[in-house]
Structure 1
């Protein structure tokens, strides 16, 4: 028995139930896990790691922040073990965003600490030449975004026949962002023997179709559903007007969250002093770092500038930002140099900010699923967190959709003391009093009047929001009807219970009196004032009494019908979203019990709503063959149900998650200003880009083959070795830092290396080019003598003519 096997068996003897010790992990991987500080695996890791180690294809579903990254990185390193001298990529992890890819690569680096595995990140925005150097270093693991990885594959004609393990991280987001063509193209180039893992928070129909095509006998592990929010998360919704949002954000950060501010004199000091203050607050549990989600990149720039002018330390991220700037901004927020991070939905998935306490939805989302991922940044790993949302009249229908999506009661206005509100279980909506925002509104207006840059940014953001509203999905018609009723109710004018303690005592009493006067409803009408009893009653009073007695019953019946209709609508919506009976337990209990995939998301009222049939099935002869679906009989069963049957119960589509609206637009006609004619759709090729056909037959833009790889080859006089060759067969691989060390021979005509032996003329020319460009004094003098002789010879005829 070798030492590794002895250590693995020794770990099993000392293992606790459900611990990493009992998973037969490689000693180097187990040592890295202990170094990282992990004691026990999370539920998704306990469920996923054993079948992955057995080599099975897997579809894993769990909510954001449940530890999915470790669930596929740990088995990957365990399987690869050490660096292979044979050239070829062996593990691929695809992520939807650059930040998530870099974060995954950082975690992979920590797990590879005690191995010699090579890994790199291939993301958009980085230098192509540097990434060619990375591929030439024969990496074992690549963490990449699909667009840039396909670009490198087409440029270098990269062969993926050595791939053993591929992961599609946040797979639903990959499809939502339009990477379907790239994913299918990458999938067709992979060998059939690879192990495929697909991790996602939701399972839209397009993902099921992709899993059917790319996975072999997959196992579905589903612990939570996307409708799950951490039980430690407290949510609240502030109703206000659009022009009050900036002032409300300043007040919320300063008074409610109590973020530290920097004066004008302190801005010139080093930012590490502020980072030390944040680190001290983090140790004391008083850290209040906050993420602010806005609609567009123009809002990011305007909001970040406004908060900076107000004295907050701010970082910002959006999709079009330069990759280097994005790294700097997210790193400043991670280490505590800044306290506020202003972002678009690019950060709604996968980015893990340690000890994050607050999320502010400056612009409310049109998709309830996106809201879940936004607020999933906080209340992780058993910590408490807050999610504040600003809601205007136009955005209120989306709150109703969210309330039905979560299956939580809607509370409008204070129904009791502020301390009695349960923000973890109720959707509490209330008004922000104008009295609290007056000073901030005045400051914002003054700052806009004095700063021309802010005025321009505000105008651009307003124009951008007009275009953004056109792309927003519409809320349900029932939500719009419900919104009208809520806006007309007197409860909507009540102050949010969370802000009541911040009101001055005198102002609180005044508002209570105004509220009492506003809500006062007299029992009598003007025709009945002073008319009591039945004696000496005016005719008008008798008419009003008679009319009231006739309409009272009608009004009661109408109100009862509205209440019943709304309750039926809510029950129907809940049944379509999830089975409330199976989801009442909290997330940890659901994870521990190992929810059966086939039992989740089944409508609660399915048995009662089944349509009765009057046919006698014993004698009824249908024109359809009963066993026509022959493929179903060949499906491999998992726990009594095939993957398709399990996936059918887990599929959840809401508001065109499958981009069905996008597919409709692709068939629509639009006017092309360059071609001067109508063209169809917004898909690949509709923007006048030339197309090329790949090996799988898919059509991609011709810009994928720009010739940059050829330029890199001629500049560095090297090429990426062929897959399957050996590193020791004459190849001098670059160092781990991906710096070219020189001495690598030029590539041959077929794109490979020539074994290290310089060819006659090509090798001699390369050798002369590698000589030092610095000239000695003798060489300079010789060149001058030769130049003078040439000048004298060319000047003799001219001198004779002059004579």
Structure 2
């Protein structure tokens, strides 16, 4: 394999014209004229245009130091060798200084290296891979075949990526299309026939089109996994494996996310080749401008606590927003000014959210519907989004929130990753997430690009273990109300309760709304059932966090009033009395109060029950002490227990350190390779075998789960699949083979094959793809063949064909161009335009058009042949009609 060419962005030397003129190949590689011996010109441009482009890039590099800007040497976009059109688009976008992830990722990508980038939310990761993508593709290619693919886990993130590519690609003729679920397949078939250069898609829909249309992806040179860990844990393994199998090995592969595990064994299937790791903000994990608060509430008071939070702390006003009032006035205006009418009918191009714009995250779509109806009945203008919502409705709801028509956006985790909402002020976690990295992505929607932001979380007793997991992950102290006068909300986890006297009226308001609205009660009932299902299937907290949560709930530390409500309430006698009442635990039950002696049977039963509970508690503590001892027997027991999520995650670091698996997942350069210095490898970019630190809490939080409630890694899944094959062979000789290969499905109320769980089919019909993996049978529905017949498209152009060789047929059939010229009609003297028609007829006679051409006039005289033909025609008609012929007159 030939060594990769050095990047022009890594050098600050000037452009040597003599080397370019006399054909120095090494110099051409340094300045982007060739790339590993392969001409980058895919659009038919001449060598002169490449030479001019290289001169412009050199001038841009020199100008970064001549203009005296504040950008450091090598740190500006001008020093990266970008073309002039792209630099103008970057300036128009508002980017002046590249962020750290852009400064480190763009040169490596331009140097044709595979990059794994991790940086916190709002750090500019999208532009970090879009800018080199546009620079490498440059112009539209006349040859068929997409050259760049960006895969996103959600539709909203794909739409946002499309917007960034359109803005930064302004001035170029690159064609970009969007392929997401929810849109018309027929429209996407038509889009694929336009020879796009860049495809932005979600994995499921892209694989659907790839299988249906039998796409050839051999022309792809650049693929990006945006929010890579989410892609790999959402059940897209089969889709990604099928897509990667069809890509050429010479492609560039890039992974970007805000939360990536330090050990990248999970991403072995991404096909990385000698990747470079960029891991920024590993210590901070969040923006320093973000302030957080946590409120301990009871399950029955959570809705009232949300109303109190929106009204008392955030201060969102009820009623229509200013933007909504202005839009209503413009719509109702009866002015005849055409300019005002166009302004009122056109959408607002500026994204101006309200001052108190807030996102509320809920666990399920049913809870989103319930909260939206509850807050609407309270007078708030809001939008809501969840996964099963129609795509057009999702876009409309988010656009309304961006434009300031709604102050609140209620959503699930579908909007937790990558969505850039400008000037977002607050984030509320109505349901506390079960993983710390989900919390990081949620709160990362605010406090972006140097702006301030707040996050508020409602904590129930069942959420306290996950709060402790978050504390261990962030490495911040846990502060309770009443501990100190000065509270740092940016660097501490400040927890406390709401003011009981103020919470009561809001709880009563919610109860009154439920009594008045029967539909709201039904929505709450459905939401509770969905939440119960979510609670059963969510990831479990670590054992140490569960143990600490019991101590925390036992000493009632979270019952102190939160410092956000002021210090005057904290010192009152009323709060002390309430604290003593909440900590009071009676020594006797209702069966023992007022009774003395052991003669009463009820007293005797309660005492016996109390003794049994104490004995069980003592034996449990002894068993816990034995389990905490690191004996070899205990180690083997934990390793063999495959049903517990905690033990699996704790053993993950051992699996990740297996040298054989790492050699398969990430290839290392040979020691004797020419030009490779093993001792002087940059540790900042070099991806080592093992992580530098061994923080178990951080590794657990960053780990990638393969979907749903199955928390095993790719290595565990591979081992499990191997064991299942062996079990199937052994079970074939056993009488209980059906029982071993089946499981009980609660939804269908019957036994189903366990293989449906392992391959992700969940009982659906599956087929084997080109890579050997199972994919949904619905991907081969034949809808593309129906579309092709309906639009009379005989075949699609093959990858590599020029656009001139095969022009795609338009959607409404063949496009004929009529060249015949018709003569105008004779002028009618009774029409008003008689003179105009007469002039047109005269011009047609002069130009001899149509019937005025020589030989085209009607001849009134018939010849002998004409008479004979007419007689034969008349005889045929008589024979056909079977009528007697009339005698001809002689």
Global fold match (TM > 0.5): yes
* Structure-2 residue corresponding to 1:775: none
- Are 2:137 and 1:87 aligned? no
Contact 1:731–1:744 (CA<8 Å) still a contact in 2?
no
| CA drift at 1:264 | 13
1:459 lines up with 2:508 in the alignment:
no
Give the count of matched residue pairs.
Answer: 632
- The alignment partner of 2:359 has SS state of strand
Counterpart of 2:563 in 1: which secondary structure?
coil
Asked if the contact 1:359–1:386 (Cα under 8 Å) also holds between the matched residues in 2, the reply is yes
Unaligned residue ranges in structure 1 (runs of 5+): 522-564, 570-605, 607-623, 735-739, 746-792, 794-803
Q: Is the 8 A contact 1:264 1:311 kept in 2?
A: no
Is this contact kept in 2: 1:289–1:356, CA < 8 A?
yes
| Kept in 1: contact 2:556–2:583 (CA 8 A) | no
Note if contact 1:292-1:359 (Cα within 8 Å) is conserved in structure 2. Answer: yes
Residues 3 and 355 from structure 1, CA distance in 2 versus in 1: closer, same or farther, beyond 3 angstroms? same
1:189 to 240, 246, 249: 246
Which residue of 636, 661, 666 corresponds with 2:711? Answer: 661
Alignment of 1:595-606 (within 5 A): none
1:634 aligns with 2:670: yes
Structure 2 partner of 1:379: 447
* CA displacement 1:637-666 (0-9 Å, x = unmatched): 542699552564489641663335367799
1:153-164 counterparts in 2 under 5 A?
153-164=210-221
Q: Which residue of 2 aligns with 1:304?
A: 372
User: Which of 334, 341, 359 is the equivalent residue of 2:427?
Assistant: 359
Query: Could you tell me which residue of structure 1 aligns to residue 56 of structure 2?
Result: 7
* C-alpha distance 299-209 of structure 1, shift in aligned 2 (>3 A): closer
1:51 maps to 2:97: no
Could you tell me how far apart the structure 1 residues matched to 2:432 and 2:415 are? 15
Which of residues 278, 290, 314 in structure 2 aligns to 1:257?
314
Deviation per residue, 1:14-41 (Å, 9 max, x gap): 2142111111102111111011111010
CA distance in 2, matches of 1:382, 1:160: 40
Aligned to 2:125: 68
Q: How far apart, CA to CA, are the structure 1 residues paired with 2:495 and 2:479? A: 6
Residue 697 in structure 1 maps to residue 772 in structure 2? yes
More relative contact order in 1 or in 2 (CA 8 Å, sep 6+)?
A: 1
- Match of 2:239, SS state, is helix
Moved more, 199-208 or 218-227: 199-208
In the alignment, which residue of structure 1 is the partner of 2:753?
Answer: 679
2:545 maps to which of 476, 479, 489: 479
Distance between the aligned counterparts of 1:266 and 1:647, measured in 2?
Answer: 53
Q: Distance in 2 between matches of 1:448 and 1:519?
A: 28
> Which residue of structure 2 aligns with residue 774 of structure 1?
none
Residue 407, structure 1, aligned to residue 407, structure 2: no
Relative distance call for 1:85 and 1:211 in structure 2 (3 A) is same
- Could you tell me how far apart the structure 2 residues matched to 1:631 and 1:316 are? 45
**1:751-766 → structure 2 map (5 Å cutoff):** none
SS of alignment partner, residue 410 of structure 2: strand
Contact 2:796 2:808 in 1 (8 A): no
**2:558 aligned with 1:511:** no
* 8 A Cα contact 2:351 2:422, kept in partner: no
Matches within 5 A, 1:488-567: 488-500=554-566, 509-512=572-575, 514=577
2:356 aligned with 1:288:
yes
Paired residues of 2:181 and 2:204 also in contact (CA < 8 A) = yes
How far apart in 2 are the matches of 1:226 and 1:292?
27
Q: For 1:317-357, what per-residue CA distance to the aligned partner results, in whole angstroms no more than 9, with x for missing partners?
A: 11111111111111111111111010111111111100111
Q: 1:46 to 1:271 in 2, by over 3 A?
A: farther
- Judged with a 3 Å threshold, the aligned counterparts in structure 2 of structure 1 residues 642 and 78 are, in CA distance, closer, same or farther, namely closer
CA distance in structure 1 between the partners assigned to 2:529 and 2:789 by the alignment: 47
Specify whether residues 294 and 368 from structure 1 end up closer, same or farther in structure 2 by C-alpha distance, changes over 3 A only.
same
- Specify the alignment match of 1:22 in structure 2: 79
Residue in 1 that maps onto 2:457? 389
Indicate conservation of the 8 Å contact 1:175/1:207, yes or no.
no
Larger radius of gyration: 2
Over residues 86-134 of structure 1, what are the superposed CA-to-partner deviations in whole Å (9 max), with x where a residue is unaligned? 1110110011111101110111111111100000111111100000011
Does structure 2 retain, via aligned residues, the 8 Å contact 1:271–1:337? no
* Distance in 2 (alpha carbons) for counterparts of 1:319 and 1:439: 34
Distance 1:742 1:225, change over 3 A: farther
Native 8 Å contact 2:761 2:776 kept in 1: no
Shift of 1:405: 1.3
Residues 679 and 54 (structure 1), Cα distance of their counterparts in 2 relative to 1, 3 Å cut: same
Query: Mean alpha-carbon deviation: is it higher for 196-205 or for 131-140?
Result: 196-205
TM-score (norm 2): 0.66
**Aligned-partner SS, 1:150:** helix
Q: Give me the whole-angstrom Cα distance separating, in 1, the residues matched to 2:180 and 2:137.
A: 23
Counterpart among 18, 35, 39 of residue 96 in structure 2: 39
Q: Distance in 2 between matches of 1:286 and 1:708?
A: 44
Q: Secondary structure at the match of 2:757?
A: coil
Change over 3 Å in CA distance of 1:265–1:125 after alignment to 2: closer
- Call closer, same or farther: CA 1:54–1:699 in 2, change over 3 Å: same
Q: Is the 8 A contact 1:188 1:696 kept in 2?
A: yes
Question: Structure 1 residues 224, 514: closer, same or farther in 2, change over 3 A?
Answer: same
What pairs up with 1:341-360 in 2 under 5 angstroms? 341-360=409-428
- Cα distance, 1:188 vs. partner? 1.2
Distance change (3 Å), C-alpha of 1:519 and 1:161: closer
- Cα deviation digits, residues 288-318 of structure 1 (max 9, x gap): 2111011100000000111111111111111
- Classify 1:676/1:164 alpha carbon distance in 2 versus 1 (closer, same or farther; 3 Å): same
Conserved 8 A contact 1:356-1:378: yes
Is the CA contact (8 Å cut-off) linking 2:358 and 2:408 kept in structure 1? yes
Relative distance call for 1:494 and 1:703 in structure 2 (3 A) is: same
Contact 1:171 1:207 in 2 (8 A): no
Mapped to 2, the partners of 1:517 and 1:678 lie a distance apart of 54
RMSD of aligned alpha carbons: 3.7
Corresponding residue to 1:729 among 781, 805, 808: 805
